[in-house]
Structure formats: C-alpha cells, structure tokens
Structure 1
Amino acid sequence: MFGVGMSTAYARKLRWCTLNARFKDSAIVARPGAIRAGDRETFMKIVRFILALAVGIVIFSLTVAAVGAIGHGFYPPPAEFQQIGDRMSDAMRAQDQAAFERTQVELAEAMAAYLPTAPTGSFIFVVAAWITGAFVGGGVAAFVTSWGRRSVAMLVGVADVGAIILVSSLLPGPGWMPFVGIAGSLIAAFAAGTLVASGTRTKPSLSRKAAP
C-alpha cells in the first residue's frame, strides 16, 4: 500500500511538472506575439496622428481660402491685382523666369501702395480667415486621430502661426493683425481640440446608459 501511494504521488507530481512546463513554453511563445501586437497598435496610432495633422493642415488651408474669398466679395481687391496675377500665370506657363520675377516685383509694389489705403474690413476678414482655419483644421485633425487630440489641434494652430508670420513679413499690414491672428489662432485650435476630446470621451458613457 505504501508503495502504491508513493507511485501515485510521484505520478501526480510528474503530471503537474509536465503541465507547468507546457504552460511556461506556451507563455514564452505567446509573449513575443503580444508584444508585436502592442507595437503594431502603437505604430498605427502614430501613423494616424501624422495623417490627422496633414489632413488638419489641408483643411486649414482650404478654410482660409474660403473665408478669404468671402472677404474679397465684400471688399474686392483692385483690378490691377488681377491683371498682374494673370501675367504671372502666363509667365509660369511659359516658364519665363525673367517675366515671372518682374510680375512679382510689380505685385509687391502694387500691394505696398494699396495696403495703407485698404479698408479695415478687409484686414478683419484676413484675421477671421486665420482664426477660422485654425478652429476648423484643428477640430478635423483632433477628430481624425485616436489620441493626443489637443496636441494635434495645437500643432495645426502652430502651422497657422507660421503662415501668419510669413504673410506678415511679406505683406505688412496693420500692427494689430499678427498679434490678434496668432493669439486667436492658438486659442481657436486649443478650443477645437478640447471640444472634440470632450465629445469623444462622453460617447462611451452615453452608449452604456442607453444599453438595457
């Protein structure tokens, strides 16, 4: 009886060791796959973040152009600008570098002569275009990405700030324009990211409440 008990206990111990070894082997095999899955998820989040930033900047540019077009409807620029623009387009199509540079100089001189007498409303539309572009572009970028919604919206706002600085250096207008445009664009981008982030955060709770 004692020998039978010993053999039974030994068999149980051997079976337990075998199962434990199999469990360890399966865990070792499964762990790299889990790590790779986590890496893929992180990689896709980064790709989606970059894609969201690109989409946001494109939407920002389109929004600025749309609001600017509305402003031109209220405050049309001088006809001379259109004529110079047509000559510039012709020079680009003909690949005439000298003619293109001449039209650039003409446009800069015409703008310098027009800006001091331009109506204040035209400048307000420009600033409104910057701020609206930051809000819409930042909101779209925050909606596209799955994480860092405020961050990607603020990056769109930073791109807007870069465009404002560039435009202000090339075509100087009233001194208040860049300051109001930069501050308004950053605030608008942050507000858009915050709104989208808070909206997406409340969706799961609403769905859980609606579930029976």
Structure 2
Amino acid sequence: MLRRILAVVTGLITGSVCITAIENIGHYFYPPPAESMNGDMEALKKYVAEAPFMALFFVILAYAAAAFVSGFTASKIANNGKPVAAIICGIIFLLMSIYMMSIVPTPIWFWILGILVWGLVFAGHSFALKTKRI
C-alpha cells in the first residue's frame, strides 16, 4: 500500500516538474506580461485571450508530457502491472487542469486537448510495462 501511495506522489511530482519545465520554455518564446506572473488574474486572462496559438499550445505540450511521465513513473514505482497509480495521477491532473481552464478563459480547442491529453497516462503505463526493471 505504501509503495502505491509513493508511486502516485512521485508521479504527481514528476508530472509537475514536466509542466513547469515545458511551460517555462513556452514563456521564453512567448513571454507573458510581468503582471500576470505576479498573480494578477486580470492580466493573465487578458494575456490568454490575446496569446498566439503556440503560446497556449506549449501548455498542452506540457500537459501531454506530464501525463506520459507521471503515468510511466507511477507505474514503474507501483510495480504491480496495474494502471491504478497512473490513473490516479491522470485524474488529479485532469481535475487541476479543468479548474485552471475554468478560472482562466481558454478557447474550446484548448479545453478539448487539455482534457484528452491526460489519457496519455495509459501510454506511460504501457511503456513502463514494456521497459526492463531498473
């Protein structure tokens, strides 16, 4: 039981690191205004409304990478062949994504992709099963 809890926690941490890293790359190419980085929600909403496609797509790429990595990590650590730990990570990230999309107005394509990419936890789980034990 402890191993599965550790698997989920580690999956969430690695997924969060992926999101942060890839979003930072996106911010390098498409810098948001300083006000939005300081917690000004109105500035963030305005930025998202006017942001170019690729600025928002970096967030989707971050979600996709996080889904795969968290599914892989959770499955490797759980080491029981079941996708439960990966699914829990995916559900937690999905709920966080839906919350963020609901407080920061995003286009419909972002909602669709932002929800669908969390299914990649299954790809991460599958890949974890196919790789050798460390």
Give TM-score scaled by structure 1 length.
Answer: 0.59
Q: Counterpart in 2 of 1:68? A: 23
Which structure 2 segments of 5+ residues have no match? none
Residue 150 of structure 1 deviates from its aligned partner by: 1.8
**Residue pair 2:15, 2:69 contacting (<8 A) in 1 also:** yes
* Preserved contact between residue 111 and residue 171 of structure 1 (Cα < 8 Å): yes
Note the C-alpha offset of 1:54: 0.8
Q: Contact between 2:33 and 2:43, CA under 8 Å: does it hold in 1? A: no
Instruction: Say which structure, 1 or 2, has more relative contact order (CA 8 Å, 6+ apart).
Output: 2
SS at match of 1:80: helix
Are the aligned partners of 2:48 and 2:56 in contact in 1 as well (CA < 8 Å)? no
Q: CA deviation at 1:174?
A: 1.0
Deviating beyond 4 angstroms after TM superposition, the runs of 4 or more aligned structure 1 residues are none
**Superposition map of 1:1-212 within 5 A:** 46-82=1-37, 85=38, 107-186=40-119, 188-200=120-132
Unaligned runs of 5+ in 1: 1-45, 86-103, 204-212
| Greater mean alpha carbon deviation, residues 174-183 or residues 62-71 | 174-183
Alpha-carbon RMSD = 1.6
SS in 2 for 1:172: coil
Deviation at 1:121, TM superposition (A): 0.6
Percent identity of paired positions between Structure 1 and Structure 2 = 32
Q: Compute the displacement of 1:115 (Å).
A: 2.1
How many pairs are equivalent?
Answer: 133
Rg comparison, structure with higher value: 1
Query: More helix by proportion, 1 or 2?
Result: 1
Does the 8 A contact of 2:49 with 2:105 survive in 1? no
Deviation at 1:171, TM superposition (A): 0.8
Residue pair 1:143, 1:149 contacting (<8 A) in 2 also:
no
- 2:102 partner amino acid: S
C-alpha displacement of 1:148: 4.3
Supply the distance in 2 between the matched residues of 1:185 and 1:156 (Cα, whole angstroms): 9
Residue 111 of structure 1, CA deviation: 2.1
